[in-house]
Every structure is written in structure tokens, then in C-alpha cells.
């Protein structure tokens, strides 16, 4: 009875995916709407996921030799206009501060939509000689991009992210770093989010404002739409020239540096919800789940039950498992539903009979299967968490691969995107053909497939220069 009530609170995942998403993020208390339209409040359960994402990524950046720093939220308006393409790309969505301290400011200030300009400015001051290079910085911060239509985690006016910025002496090194960071993101998506991605270069139309080349990773969501989950950008000397990032090289000549940047955001939380979630709610990958195992006592008023549960929690915590004891007054059935909806990877049920037999009952959220284990066997729980991670990735990868189809004509492409697929096509490289695909099929070029061999442009039929994955996207 309780279970039916609970499940009915979430809209049908197949029938109304947008409502399912909203129900899940609100009811599991990941997030709530802020008082200013388009803003979100990340609640403790959601923020704990972000902290786990942060910790995993931060460790990877540090291993790669990148250092953290922090730059100001406010950027002089004039900085934005120094790189022509950059200002054109970001001007429509920047929030501007015109008054402060009760007076009109001499120069308006922009709330950072991204920090290429201010970091470029500071790098211009700090870099003098080839000995100062490379300079590789990252910052964890918030950014603001005014959006008309917003959805929690996927598109909000303010969001949290990391932005890495490096300057190198040569274009080859900066370009190599752009590729290396894309690979770092891909590995992170696989091993931490259990999420397969397509990676590749973006088209000119889809690239970052001011970049020479943008690379992205795209993930396939449950409803057949693609989600851009991270990007890396090679800037060439565009920003170095705009901000005077110059150095004296070994040969004594004064040269401009080459810069690159890369970022992922709280959007990743939306990505993992829409990759792994099911009708019961969230399915969280163990590496980022705030609670990896929840212990639910059965007949908890009976003597010795709570004590045995507490002892089990202590053992698991000691072994490095993020564990929670639910000793609230709710019924076990209510608790099962609650924690299933919240996507906790493993539930452990422990009652008087189990304790007597020296057993515990394990339930895995991904397959909803149950198995028995020796009471207090932490290795078994860790092994199960590992099996869940690997299964989540395998299932998502199979689904993504099923959803890659090829097309040689616009009609086939339309059928492909209508079916919720990544559609692999040839493309002549002309902007007009890319625009036509968008108009005809409401699909955009997600990434280019460097190993692709599609022979002809899907639009004009001329020989293809590139193979492109088109899809409808978030
Ligand atoms: Zn064409």
C-alpha cells in the first residue's frame, strides 16, 4: 500500500520524461527553486553529490599538475569586449552591475559568465619569460548566464563549475592539453559517473565564443536526447593577444602564449539522473552517492536490533563505505521506498532472525535483486558496490550504442532523431548544410567522429569532409 502511494508520486518515465525529471529532483530533495526565476537552491543531498564529483575531479587535476586558484566574480565590462567573438557570444546572457554603494559605477561590471577574460588579464601580468610557462590553473566557482528557459541542474542562470585555464609557449602543447583534458573527462565520466560518452571536436557553429577549436563529451539521456556534459577549448593566441599574454622565449624574442580552457558543471548531476534513473527514482553511481549503503532495521524495537545495526554501520564506516542507519519511526516498507527513490546503491535489511543466523540481507538498487551475506562482511558490501558501478556503465553503454544509427539522407536523419538516436552522417563542412539540418530535423551537430567514414553530406550529397553525430540536445 505504502509502496503504491510512493511510486505514484513520480510521473511516468516513459510517458512524461520532463515531469519525471522534475518530480525526481524535487521529491528526492536534491534541489529547490530559488526566489529569483531561473535560480536553484542545491540542497544537502544534491550538494553532497557535487562534493563527491568535485573531490574525484580535483584529485585528477592535481595529479595532472594543475593548481587551484580563485579569481573575482566581477569583471570590468571592457574586458569582455577585448575579444570580439567572445563578447558577441556572451553579451546576450550577461548580468551587469551598474550601481554599488548607492552610486552609479563609472564602469559597469559583469557577473562572470566564464573567466577567460579576467584570467587572461592576470596571466598577462604574471607571465614574462618562457620559464613562467606553462601556467596551469583551475578554479571552482559559480558563474551566471541569464537564461530564458531553465531547469534544475540542466540550465540555470547561476551554476557551479570548475574552469581550468592554461597558457603554453607553443600551440602544439596547448592543443595537446586540450585533448588530454577531454580524455580526463571521458575517464572520469566512465569510472565515477558510470556514464559512457561520445567525444570529439565541435563544429565551427557549436564551438565556444573566441575559441579556435572546441571539443566536447556528449551523453545519451533516457529520453533519447543528447546532453553536453563537458567541453575543452583550444584558443590559439586569440585571448593571449587580446590580453597581452607575452613572454620572452629562449631565443630572446617576445612572443604571445597559447591558451586553452576546460570546464564541467553541476549539469553533470542532471546527466547522471537522466542516464541511470528509473521509474522508482534516482539510481546513483556508488562513487558519487552521498549514502552508498543504508541500513534498515526490521522490528527495531526488539531488543538488540538497533545495537546490531549500529555495530554493522561502524564496521562498514571503518571499511570506507558511506553508510547511514535509518532508525526513524517510519515503517520498513516506507523506508525501502524512500531510499530506493533516493537512489542509494545498497540497502541492508537486518532483523532479529538475521542477527540470530549471523546474516544480513542486501538489496541492490540497480537491478532490484536481493542476496544474503554474512553479517558484518564489509568486503562483500564493497564488492557489491563495485559490481553496481560496472553494471550501470555496461547497461548505459549498451543503450548508447543501440542509439547510434547512420543516415545518408535528411529523411533518414529525421527518422533517426525522432527515434531518439545519435545519427551518424557525412557532412561537407558547409555551415548552410548544418543550418538546414537544424531547421529540418531540429537536431544539432554534437561532435565530429574523427574515425568516421560516411561518404556523402547528408544534406547536399557532395563528398563528405567530416563524419558528424547529430542529435536533439538539452
Ligand atoms: Zn553539404
Give the sign of the dihedral formed by CA 402, CA 404, CA 407, CA 413. Answer: positive
| Integer angstrom CA distances of residue 474 from 18, 270, 324 | 11, 10, 34
What is the distance between the alpha carbons of residues 26 and 285, in angstroms, rounded to a whole number?
A: 19
Q: How far is the CA of 234 from the centre of ligand 1 (A)?
A: 26
CATH fold label, 293-386: Rossmann fold (3.40.50)
Q: How far is the CA of 413 from the centre of ligand 1 (A)?
A: 14
pLDDT at residue 3 greater than cutoff 60:
no
Between the CA of 424 and the centroid of ligand 1 the distance, in Å, is 14
- Residue owning grid cell 583550444: 234
Strand partners, 119: none
Residues 2-24, mean pLDDT to the nearest whole number = 82
| pLDDT tens per residue across span 178-227 | 999 999 999 999 999 999 999 999 999 999 989 999 999 999 999 999 99
Q: Name beta bridge partners: 67.
A: 137
Model confidence at 373: pLDDT above 70 = yes
Per-residue pLDDT reduced to its tens digit, 320-372: 999 999 999 999 999 999 999 999 999 999 999 999 999 999 999 999 999 99
- pLDDT tens readout for residues 415-436: 999 999 999 999 999 999 999 9
Rounded to the nearest whole angstrom, what is the distance from the C-alpha of residue 65 to the centroid of ligand 1?
42
- 175: Cα separation from own chain's centroid: 23
C-alpha 78 – ligand 1 centre gap (Å): 39
How many A from CA of 459 to the centre of ligand 1? 5
399: CA distance to ligand 1 center in Å?
Answer: 30
159/153 Cα distance (integer angstroms): 8
pLDDT value at 2 more than 50: no
Look at the block and give the residue holding cell 537486518: 350
Determine the pLDDT at residue 240: 96
User: Is residue 61 over pLDDT 60?
Assistant: yes
Region of 250 on the Ramachandran plot (φ > 0 left; ψ -120 to 50 alpha; else beta): alpha
CA of 235 to the centre of ligand 1 (A): 27
CA of 232 to the centre of ligand 1 (A): 26
Domain 404-471: CATH superfamily, name plus number: C-terminal domain of ProRS (3.30.110.30)
Q: What is the Å distance from ligand 1's center to 109 Cα? A: 42
User: Which residues face 423 on adjacent strands?
Assistant: 405, 470
Q: 58: burial class by Cβ within 10 Å (0-12, 13-18, 19+)?
A: middle
- For residues 69-96, average pLDDT: 91
Distance 433 CA to ligand 1 centre (A): 5
Q: Residue 366: which residues within 8 A CB-CB, separation 6 or more?
A: 276, 283, 345, 388, 391, 392, 395
Q: How far apart are CA 281 and CA 279, in angstroms?
A: 5
Ligand 1: centre distance to CA 443 (Å): 15
Residue 330 has what DSSP assignment? Answer: S
> What length does the chain have?
474
Place of cell 546490531: 308
Q: How far is the CA of 461 from the centre of ligand 1 (A)?
A: 6
How far apart are the CA of 425 and the centre of ligand 1, in A?
11
Ligand 1 centre and the CA of 408: distance in Å?
11
CA–centroid distance, residue 87 to ligand 1 (Å): 29
- CA-to-CA separations, 414 to 15, 120, 407, in angstroms, rounded: 22, 42, 9
Predicted confidence at residue 6, as pLDDT, reads 53
The reply to whether domains 293-386 and 404-471 share a CATH topology is: no
pLDDT of amino acid 1: 42
Q: How far is the C-alpha of 335 from the C-alpha of 322, rounded, in Å?
A: 18
Contact indicator for 239, 245 with CB cutoff of 8 Å: yes
3-276 belongs to CATH 3.30.930.10: yes
| DSSP string for residues in 411-455 | HHHHHHHHTT-EEEEEE-S-HHHHHHHHHHHS-EEEEE-TT----
**Cα 472 to chain centroid, rounded:** 18
What separation in Å is there between the alpha carbon of 436 and the centre of ligand 1?
9
Q: What is the SS3 assignment for 119?
A: helix
Chain-centre distance for alpha carbon 169: 30
d(CA 208, CA 248): 29
Phi, psi of 203, deg, nearest 5 = -75, 170
Domain ranges of the chain: 3-276, 293-386, 404-471
Percent of the chain past pLDDT 90, that is, above it, reads: 93
Give, in order, the Cα–Cα distances in Å from 62 to each of 54, 194, 453. 12, 22, 37
Going from the Cα of 465 to the center of ligand 1, the distance in angstroms, rounded, reads 9
First to last CA, the chain: 37
Taking a 5 Å cut-off on Cβ, the residues next to ion ligand 1 are 428, 430, 433, 457, 459-460
Asked whether residue 446 carries a pLDDT value surpassing 60, the answer given is: yes
* 215 CA → ligand 1 middle, Å: 22
Check whether 8 has a pLDDT greater than 80: no
> How far is Cα 347 from Cα 165, in angstroms, rounded to an integer?
42
Amino acid at each position: 500500500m505504502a509502496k503504491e502511494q510512493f511510486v505514484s508520486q513520480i510521473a511516468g518515465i516513459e510517458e512524461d520524461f520532463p515531469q519525471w525529471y522534475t518530480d525526481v529532483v524535487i521529491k528526492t530533495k536534491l534541489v529547490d527553486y530559488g526566489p529569483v526565476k531561473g535560480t536553484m537552491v542545491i540542497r544537502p543531498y544534491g550538494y553532497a553529490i557535487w562534493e563527491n564529483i568535485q573531490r574525484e575531479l580535483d584529485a585528477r587535476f592535481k595529479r595532472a599538475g594543475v593548481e587551484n586558484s580563485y579569481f573575482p566574480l566581477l569583471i570590468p565590462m571592457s574586458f569582455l569586449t577585448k575579444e570580439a567573438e567572445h563578447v558577441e557570444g556572451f553579451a546576450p546572457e550577461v548580468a551587469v552591475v551598474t550601481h554599488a554603494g548607492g552610486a552609479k559605477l563609472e564602469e559597469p561590471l559583469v557577473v562572470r559568465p566564464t573567466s577567460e577574460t579576467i584570467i587572461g588579464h592576470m596571466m598577462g601580468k604574471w607571465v614574462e619569460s618562457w620559464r613562467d610557462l606553462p601556467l596551469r590553473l583551475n578554479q571552482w566557482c559559480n558563474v551566471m548566464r541569464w537564461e530564458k528557459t531553465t531547469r534544475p541542474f540542466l540550465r540555470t542562470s547561476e551554476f557551479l563549475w570548475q574552469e581550468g585555464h592554461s597558457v603554453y609557449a607553443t600551440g602544439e602543447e596547448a592543443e595537446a592539453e586540450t585533448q588530454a583534458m577531454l580524455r580526463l573527462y571521458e575517464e572520469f565520466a566512465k569510472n565515477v559517473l558510470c556514464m559512457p560518452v561520445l567525444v570529439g571536436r565541435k563544429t565551427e557553429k557549436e564551438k565556444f565564443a573566441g575559441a579556435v577549436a572546441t571539443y566536447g563529451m556528449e551523453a545519451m539521456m533516457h529520453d533519447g536526447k543528447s546532453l553536453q556534459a563537458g567541453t575543452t577549448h583550444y584558443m590559439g593566441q586569440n585571448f593571449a593577444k587580446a590580453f597581452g599574454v607575452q613572454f620572452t622565449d629562449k631565443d630572446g624574442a617576445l612572443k604571445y602564449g597559447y591558451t586553452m580552457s576546460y570546464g564541467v558543471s553541476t549539469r553533470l548531476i542532471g546527466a547522471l539522473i537522466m542516464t541511470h534513473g528509473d521509474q522508482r527514482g534516482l539510481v546513483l553511481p556508488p562513487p558519487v552517492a552521498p549514502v552508498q549503503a543504508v541500513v534498515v532495521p526490521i522490528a527495531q524495537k526488539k531488543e538488540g536490533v538497533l545495537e546490531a545495526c549500529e555495530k554493522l554501520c561502524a564496521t562498514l564506516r571503518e571499511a570506507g563505505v558511506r553508510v547511514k542507519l535509518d532508525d526513524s519511526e517510519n515503517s520498513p516498507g516506507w523506508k525501502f521506498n524512500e531510499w530506493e527513490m533516493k537512489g542509494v546503491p545498497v540497502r541492508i535489511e537486518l532483523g532479529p532472525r538475521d542477527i540470530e543466523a549471523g546474516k544480513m540481507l542486501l538489496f541492490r538498487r540497480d537491478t532490484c535483486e536481493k542476496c544474503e551475506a554474512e553479517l558484518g562482511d564489509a568486503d562483500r558490501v564493497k564488492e557489491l558496490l563495485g559490481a553496481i558501478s560496472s553494471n550501470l556503465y555496461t547497461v548505459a553503454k549498451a543503450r548508447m550504442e543501440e542509439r547510434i544509427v547512420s543516415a545518408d539522407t535528411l529523411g533518414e536523419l529525421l527518422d533517426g532523431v525522432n527515434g531518439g538516436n545519435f545519427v551518424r552522417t557525412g557532412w561537407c563542412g558547409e555551415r548552410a548544410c548544418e543550418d538546414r539540418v537544424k531547421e529540418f530535423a531540429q537536431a544539432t551537430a554534437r561532435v565530429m567522429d574523427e574515425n568516421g567514414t560516411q561518404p556523402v553530406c547528408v544534406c547536399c550529397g557532395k563528398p563528405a569532409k567530416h563524419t558528424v553525430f547529430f542529435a536533439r540536445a538539452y
